[in-house]
Structure 1
């Protein structure tokens, strides 16, 4: 049976020092195996995991995030990649902001359409038919400009028919504009009607930013060039406003993965100036709290390799185990399984003796050993606990109070017309069967606490396939999170290993603060 080591012992209660040394040796070997996996095909994935953890940091203010990402954009390394991705985000979420910039840059629009029939047709060939309400996009701009300036530009309109249309006729029958040779007309405007490209009509048509959808890459390239070659204040103003308004999590998830490892480490070190250890951090309330505490306490010598490893074992246990299960990591997986066969031979006293050793270490080393120990626990839980009965026995032996969860809210109304027992029993189509089982459950509540739990343990899961359909079989509410969430067998290893990591870290941190 897996030990969770949740029963805290006093500092003066001894453990087997030899066992502690052996456990540290085991964890060191495990670190080497995990790192060999992360340094091969898994390194990019490990960086992605870290970026997701960074995005969970909750103590960053809008001004802090503005300063962090502006420093990133102004730096000499990788700035174009970050700027290009940021502009893509602005184009998607705030197209009108970019549209106002485009409206002021008539030369950009001329270049966009010049020699590019696809761009021309997508933007200007949108004249309304006889039954439609009105022209749209660039078609509206051409028609409005042509009427207002008909004395100087009407002759530049090219028509597909044998003869052109007069302004008077087209004014009464706007759908005649559908006979316009759009490609030739725009070519004429590019050559002979320069005022059109800075006209109010064209400006109004592009201000909403819809034109970006035609070719985002073109506008990204143009904006990046204006940012760094021309230092265009209008674009920088849009960027700064965007960085103040958006969530830190959204910016981090989309921008940090663009950084190379050197820049990512630089960003982390800059981030350390802004994180603060509030009460939620000290209580490890978020998946990123270990990182926030570490960044605020450690000096600048911390390496990206160390952070990648810690993040993998502390908050990405399931993904790490899946990565190790890939075919190319067969050797590492074999070494790990052999190494962890003896992982359970460790008593509560030995474990807390190890935690006492961690109090004497630097914070980075302590977090590493505690994180690796929590991943060992995750691995053992995933491998050894395969049935509801095994889980409930583990809860009992580790002092975790639990309740079965009869939560079918994710299923559609009426899906139980065939009659499933709410405790996971066999199918029964009779309503009387349900009432009988409910009466039996009410009777069990009269028993003593231990008798009730043991009575529930003898109820076996069905063998009719319901186990696989119900998200991993039976589900529980656990005292480890105040009965606030329903857990199934697939997710419990991750939840319990994270709970144990928090419990151990809080104990060690409390001794550091004394």
Structure 2
């Protein structure tokens, strides 16, 4: 049975320094194996994992966040990848902020439509019929401008019928514009009516930013030119406002993976100087706390390889296990299995001796050893937590109270059942012993149905074998656990990851307080 070492030690029970050093030697070998996997075929995935972990950081001030990403945008390489992605996000989420900038760029609009029949028809061929209330988009701009300036442009209107329409007739019957030959008319305006492209009517039609949908790439390319060659302040202001308003997680997930390794490391170091740790984070109360603590204290001495490895073992144990199971890493997988064949044999005293050593180390090193130790736990749990019985035995042996998610029965670490019922006020009441009788037959039937479904679920638990490595599919039993205050139901597929992370945070909380 896997020991999770969740109970803080009595100092007299700590193992000696020699056993801690032996364990560190094993962890160093494990670090070497995982490091080789990350440096080879698993590096790109490891970078994605790191970007995902960065996105969970929640202690960044919006103004600082804006500054971080603006610094990226102003670097020389960003206009090839990050800037286009930022513009696409702005176009999608804040088109109304971009439209007024387009409205001021008459030459951009002329070039956009000139020689492109598809765009002309998409934007200007939106005249209302008799059943519609009014013209839309460019059609509205074209009709309004034509009426106001009929003395200089009406003759440039081309009609599909045998004869044209007079301004007086169209004024009383606006739907006659539906018979306009839009393509020829706009081509005439491009050639002979330059004032239209500078007009308030056209500017008003594009201010909502809807025109961006006609060809996003065209406008991205033009805005890149305005940003970096013409250095147009209006665009930078819109982008800065966007970077301040949008969630840090969204920006990180969409932009950081585009950075090269040098730029990503620079971003991490800059990020570390802006993190403001709260009390809960200092006590490892959130999944991202290890990274926030690390960045705020010792990131200047770390390489990107350090970050990738720590993140892989602490936050992405399941994905790392999957990568190690790939056929490209047969050698590393074999070395790992040889190394960990007897690594689970570790007493409480020996484990906490290691944690005592960690308490005297720099936080970067302490996180590394605790993270690798927790990943060993993940490795063994992924092999042993296969059935309802093995999982529940694990809970009992490690002092974890639990209840099955489809029942109201809470089981303490001593193995006795605590059964939940409801009192007259609707609050949960725990009672040791047998099951309180239901007041209604309907509830009895529901309970029988749940039991039947649970039996079926147990029969459906399947195991996926790949190269001797066991992976669990979702399904089967699930439990609410005291490890997270019974707040979430954990099934067999997720237990290893949840419990190994809980082990890590429990150990690091102890390490940081000693």
TM range (shorter): 0.7 to 0.9
Aligned to 1:46: 46
Aligned to 1:382: 382
Cα contact 1:146–1:153 (8 A) shared by 2: yes
Aligned to 2:185: 185
Aligned to 2:511: 508
Helix, strand or coil at the partner of 2:455: coil
Q: Separation in 2 of the partners of 1:102 and 1:313? A: 48
Aligned to 1:310: 310
Cα contact 2:458–2:476 (8 A) shared by 1: no
Cα displacement string for residues 165-223 of structure 1 (whole angstroms, at most 9, x for unaligned residues):
22223233333323322222111111211111121111111010000001111111111
Aligned to 1:472: 475
Residues 257, 407 of structure 1: alpha-carbon distance in 2 compared, 3 angstrom cutoff:
farther
Q: Separation in 2 of the partners of 1:391 and 1:320? A: 22
Aligned to 1:436: none
Cα displacement string for residues 210-261 of structure 1 (whole angstroms, at most 9, x for unaligned residues):
0000111111111111111111111111112112211211221112122111
Helix, strand or coil at the partner of 2:13: coil
Q: Separation in 2 of the partners of 1:65 and 1:327? A: 41
User: Superposed, which structure 2 residues align to 1:309-328 within 5 Å?
Assistant: 309-328=309-328
Q: Separation in 2 of the partners of 1:26 and 1:460? A: 44
Cα contact 1:77–1:263 (8 A) shared by 2: no
Helix, strand or coil at the partner of 2:294: helix
Cα displacement string for residues 140-179 of structure 1 (whole angstroms, at most 9, x for unaligned residues):
1111111111110011112233322222232333333233
Cα contact 1:84–1:220 (8 A) shared by 2: yes
Q: Separation in 2 of the partners of 1:464 and 1:176? A: 68
Q: Separation in 1 of the partners of 2:479 and 2:174? A: 68
Question: How many angstroms does 1:115 deviate by?
Answer: 1.5
Question: How many angstroms does 1:277 deviate by?
Answer: 2.3
Aligned to 2:455: 462
Cα contact 1:404–1:474 (8 A) shared by 2: yes
Residues 161, 460 of structure 1: alpha-carbon distance in 2 compared, 3 angstrom cutoff:
closer
User: Superposed, which structure 2 residues align to 1:71-86 within 5 Å?
Assistant: 71-86=71-86
Cα contact 1:56–1:286 (8 A) shared by 2: no
Aligned to 1:444: 434
More strand by share: 2
Cα contact 2:294–2:363 (8 A) shared by 1: yes
Aligned to 2:240: 240
| Residues 1:485 and 2:488 aligned together | yes
Aligned to 1:420: none
Cα contact 1:15–1:349 (8 A) shared by 2: yes
Cα contact 1:157–1:180 (8 A) shared by 2: yes
Cα contact 2:137–2:205 (8 A) shared by 1: yes
What's the Cα RMSD here? 2.4
Helix, strand or coil at the partner of 1:476: strand
Q: Separation in 2 of the partners of 1:61 and 1:285? A: 20
User: Superposed, which structure 2 residues align to 1:25-64 within 5 Å?
Assistant: 25-64=25-64
Number of residue-to-residue matches in the alignment: 468
Q: Separation in 1 of the partners of 2:337 and 2:16? A: 24
Residues 86, 13 of structure 1: alpha-carbon distance in 2 compared, 3 angstrom cutoff:
same
Question: How many angstroms does 1:483 deviate by?
Answer: 1.9
Cα displacement string for residues 260-303 of structure 1 (whole angstroms, at most 9, x for unaligned residues):
11111101111111112211211212221111111111151211
Aligned to 1:453: none
Question: How many angstroms does 1:50 deviate by?
Answer: 1.1
Cα contact 1:95–1:210 (8 A) shared by 2: yes
Q: Separation in 2 of the partners of 1:352 and 1:467? A: 39
Cα displacement string for residues 372-398 of structure 1 (whole angstroms, at most 9, x for unaligned residues):
111110111011111111111111111
Question: How many angstroms does 1:328 deviate by?
Answer: 2.3
Question: How many angstroms does 1:58 deviate by?
Answer: 1.1
User: Superposed, which structure 2 residues align to 1:142-161 within 5 Å?
Assistant: 142-161=142-161
Cα displacement string for residues 297-354 of structure 1 (whole angstroms, at most 9, x for unaligned residues):
1151211110011111101111111222223223322222222211211111111111
Aligned to 1:126: 126
Q: Separation in 1 of the partners of 2:510 and 2:202? A: 66
Helix, strand or coil at the partner of 2:23: helix
Aligned to 2:226: 226
Question: How many angstroms does 1:130 deviate by?
Answer: 2.6
Cα contact 1:54–1:252 (8 A) shared by 2: yes
Counterpart of 1:497 (choices 474, 496, 500) is: 500
Question: How many angstroms does 1:506 deviate by?
Answer: 0.9
Cα contact 1:78–1:260 (8 A) shared by 2: no
Gaps of 5+ in 2: 409-416, 418-430, 437-451, 463-472
Give the stretch that moved more between structures: 486-495 or 307-316.
486-495
Cα contact 1:2–1:394 (8 A) shared by 2: yes
Question: How many angstroms does 1:129 deviate by?
Answer: 2.1
Cα contact 2:272–2:299 (8 A) shared by 1: no
Cα contact 2:457–2:477 (8 A) shared by 1: no
Q: Separation in 2 of the partners of 1:191 and 1:484? A: 68
Q: Separation in 2 of the partners of 1:34 and 1:356? A: 24
Q: Separation in 2 of the partners of 1:407 and 1:274? A: 46
Q: Separation in 2 of the partners of 1:473 and 1:299? A: 42
Residues 460, 251 of structure 1: alpha-carbon distance in 2 compared, 3 angstrom cutoff:
closer
Q: Separation in 2 of the partners of 1:223 and 1:237? A: 13
Q: Separation in 1 of the partners of 2:31 and 2:457? A: 42
Residues 233, 502 of structure 1: alpha-carbon distance in 2 compared, 3 angstrom cutoff:
same
Helix, strand or coil at the partner of 2:513: helix
Q: Separation in 1 of the partners of 2:321 and 2:177? A: 64
Give the stretch that moved more between structures: 496-505 or 182-191.
182-191
Residues 464, 86 of structure 1: alpha-carbon distance in 2 compared, 3 angstrom cutoff:
closer
Gaps of 5+ in 1: 409-422, 424-440, 447-458
